[in-house]
Amino acid sequence: MTHYKRSIAATGHHLVSAAAAEILQADGNAFDAAVAAGFAGAVAEQTLTSLGGGGFLLARTATTSQPGREIFFDFFVDTPGLGRQTVDQPHFFPVSVDFGGSKQEFNIGLGSVAVPGILKGLLHVHSRLGRMPLADVLQPAIGLARGHELNEFQAGFLHLLHPIMTMTEYGRNLYEPGGRYMQAHDTLANPDMVAFLQELPSDFGDSFYKGDIARTIDQDMRSGGGLLTFDDLAGYKVVERKPLRAAFRGRILLTSPPPSMGGSLIALSLALLEKMEAPPEWGSSEHMLRTTALMQEVELLRDQGVCSPESLRAYLAGDAIIESTEHIRLFSRGTTHISIGDKDGNVASMTCSNGEGSGYFAPGTGIMLNNMMGEDDLHPDGFHCSPAGERVGSMMSPSLLLKGDEVELVIGSGGSKRIRTAITQVLSQIIDHGRPHKTAVESPRMHWDGECLQLEPGFADESLAAVGDKVAINVWQEQSMYFGGVHIVVPGKIGVGDPRRGGSVAVVDAWP
């Protein structure tokens, strides 16, 4: 068993990091802390995550003798509609969100709600790997729900998502009391959430998934054009999977397995990088051209179906990967992440999302449900065409990087389609270019959106000119949450939070 002198948590909000630190200080393990941070995030990062959303947690326990010490907990959303006939015209409509440098359209309404998994997932992880009483683990979130100061980041997110947060009277009462929309430094309180969380240690989520709350949600959906049913909620299960393992530069990346697509796309990106010659200087024109071509090639391979386990294995073992590297040479959304490593060597990497939120709140809970059925990147074949009860694919990819038998890095990101490019670029900077972890997280990023290369400011003019000769580019005025939020922990050493999404690190020194 590995022992460190400190436990570290990196999250997207200082209050969430503080919640994790409080549990670690009380001698909870990384999984207690991750669960506490997950509940706290549902309160303090209400525009990015929710107990009504979906997520994943990649766990690696410190006990080497424990069977299945590496577990990927899948508590992402399911397609709704069990026990119900097709709804011809669901309550489902678009809203446009302006990120400052690029606009993106999302669909919300009752018809956008998928079967939520975060609540059951957090409770499941705690039951499996936690060691503190659930009532204690919930205390930080309960305190925040009683009232906390809205910071600049969350106020900005609330501004972006105003049409969603205020779609219903309940939302207007919560976020626009007295007709004034909440601003930075206002106190946000959610009394219904307080009562709901206080009941969890005895109720264990039964009322939400198969009790009175579930029945009321079912009634609201039937009368309001939604698809979520009582049968969906009652039948939801957390799935424990083996993480996907991908080799890279003498290391092993553990990441999200199918049906999540993000891990396979990261593995594909790293495999292509490893097949090429020594990387050019970071930020040079050659580096930027290669990175752009890499993103384009991965998108093409995704469209060709290379992301399935069988296709990915065949591709990596065959000659096609060489052809892809030649292509590269010739070229010359609401989500939050938590990374935790405790003093005993347990690590947890958890990514959770509510999408942008559907606008609908589960009655009496203070919990806005997700809009995952309205996310176009999760439904490439079209909306509302998948069978009920099917686990929805995701781009979220909580990951661990192993060197030998030790965890070298705990990493993950929010950011919808930008998750895989953000994680790949940060990993490449650290491993290929030897850049410090903080530098790698804070350096400008790029993302190929299918038509244009989106670029954060900070790249050299000559590099931008070289790339602009090859593809259309859009240079943003400032760094943005659009490009993800990568939070990392080097167990026992350091943590880095991404400033694009309010990154915060908490360190708890081990007792002597």
Q: Which residues are catalytic, by number? A: 335
Residue linked to tokens 């992402």? 76
Q: Token pair for residue 27?
A: 């001698």
Q: Token pair for residue 329?
A: 């040479």
- Measure the CA–CA gap between 439 and 479, rounded to whole angstroms: 14
Check residue 391 and report its DSSP letter. B
Strand 148-149 with 103-108, pairing: unpaired
- Measure the CA–CA gap between 457 and 202, rounded to whole angstroms: 51
* Collapsed DSSP state (helix, strand, coil) of residue 300: helix
CB-side exposure of 447: number of CA atoms within 13 Å? 21
214: nearest Cα among 223, 205, 224: 205
Q: How far is CA 76 from the centre of its chain?
A: 10
Q: Give me the phi and psi of 201, to 5 degrees please.
A: -60, -30
Whether 237 and 210 have beta carbons less than 8 Å apart is answered as: no
**In terms of DSSP H, where are the helices of 67-211?**
118-129, 134-146, 152-160, 162-165, 169-175, 191-203, 206-210
112: nearest Cα among 10, 225, 30, 261: 225
The angle subtended at Cα 136 by Cα 134 and Cα 140, nearest 5°, is 115
335: nearest Cα among 262, 268, 269: 262
**In terms of DSSP H, where are the helices of 26-133?**
30-44, 118-129
* Collapsed DSSP state (helix, strand, coil) of residue 406: strand
Separation in Å, CA 451 to CA 29, 306, 448, 454: 45, 21, 7, 9
Residue linked to tokens 């011809």? 88
Q: Give me the phi and psi of 7, to 5 degrees please.
A: -110, 145
Whether 63 and 74 have beta carbons less than 8 Å apart is answered as: no
Q: Which residues contact 511 (CB under 8 A, 6 or more apart)?
A: none
Whether 73 and 57 have beta carbons less than 8 Å apart is answered as: yes
Whether 345 and 491 have beta carbons less than 8 Å apart is answered as: yes
426: nearest Cα among 374, 478, 487, 365: 487
- Measure the CA–CA gap between 27 and 136, rounded to whole angstroms: 11
Whether 18 and 343 have beta carbons less than 8 Å apart is answered as: no
